[in-house]
Amino acid sequence: MKLSVVVPVFNERQTILEVLNRIERVPFEKEIIVVDDGSTDGTRDVLKGLQFQGALPSTRFVFQPQNAGKGAAIRAGIQVAAGDVILVQDADLEYDPSDYPVLLDPIIKGKADVVYGSRFMGGAHRVLFFWHYVGNKLLTLLSNMMTNLNLTDMETGYKVFRREIFSKISIEENRFGFEPEITAKVARLRCRVYEVPISYFGRDYSEGKKITWKDGFAALYVIAKYNLFG
C-alpha cells in the first residue's frame, strides 16, 4: 500500500519544515504532495529551496498561482496523487503525523473506505476555545442529521480516503467547506466510515490560526447545499 500525504499550505513558514520532517519519519511507503496556496510570508521561498536542493526526495511540490483556499489546494494535490490511500495533513502542527498508524489501521485491515481522526474521542489535546468546541459540535450534529452518520468530529483536519473514492466524487468547495462537502458525498456513496481518536495541539490566533466564525456560517450553507440539493 502506497500512501499519498496531501499537505495544503498557506503562510506556514514557521512550521512547514517540522511538519515535513515528521511526515518523512513515519514508516510507510509514501509520497508527500505539498500544495502551496499562494503563500506571502516566505513559505513559498522555503518550499522552492527544498525543491531545488532535492532535500526531500519523496516530496512533490505544487504551487498555486494565487490563494484559492484549503479545498482548492486539496483538490490540486489529489489530482497528482499516485498512492492507494490519500491522507490530508495540515501544515500547522495542530495534527501530529505520529497518529498515522492509528488512522490507517482500519483501511489496512480492509474495514474502512474512509477514516476520520476525531479530536473528541479521548486523545490528548490542548485546551482552548469553548465556543469553537460548541461550533464544531453544532456543525457535526447538523451534518449527522443530514447524512445519518454518527460522527463526533466532522470538521477534523485528519481525513483518510482510499484512492478510488475520488474517481466517484469531485471536490467543489475552495475553502473550509471541503469538510462538510466531502462528508456529504462520502455518506451518499455509502462508504464504510470509521473514526479513531487522535491527539490535537490547537493554536490560538496569535499563533496563526486561520478559521473564523465566518467559516462556521459558511459551513452551514455547505451542509445544506450538498445534503439537500446534491
Kindly give the confidence (pLDDT) of every residue in the chain, 230 residues in length, as a single tens digit, with 9 standing for 90 and above.
899 999 999 999 999 999 999 999 999 999 999 999 999 999 999 999 999 887 788 899 999 999 999 999 999 999 999 999 999 999 999 999 999 999 999 999 999 999 999 998 876 766 666 877 888 899 999 999 999 999 999 999 999 999 999 999 999 999 889 999 999 999 999 999 999 999 998 756 555 566 666 777 888 999 999 998 86
Residue matched to cell numbers 451518499: 188
Dist CA 201 CA 119 (whole Å): 10
Domain ranges of the chain: 3-228
How far CA 22 is from CA of 32, 172, 188, 207, in Å, comes to 11, 30, 34, 20
The reported pLDDT for the residue numbered 227 is 94
From 191, 110, 121, 108, select the one nearest 151 (Cα to Cα): 121
Q: Mind spelling out the 3-state secondary structure of 52-65?
A: HHCCCCCEEEEECC
CATH class held by domain 3-228: alpha beta
Helix (H, G, I), strand (E, B) or coil at 68: coil
Q: Listing from the earlier edge strand, what are the strands of the sheet with 59-63?
A: 59-63, 30-36, 3-9, 85-88, 159-162, 114-118, 193-197
- Give me 152's grid cell: 463526533
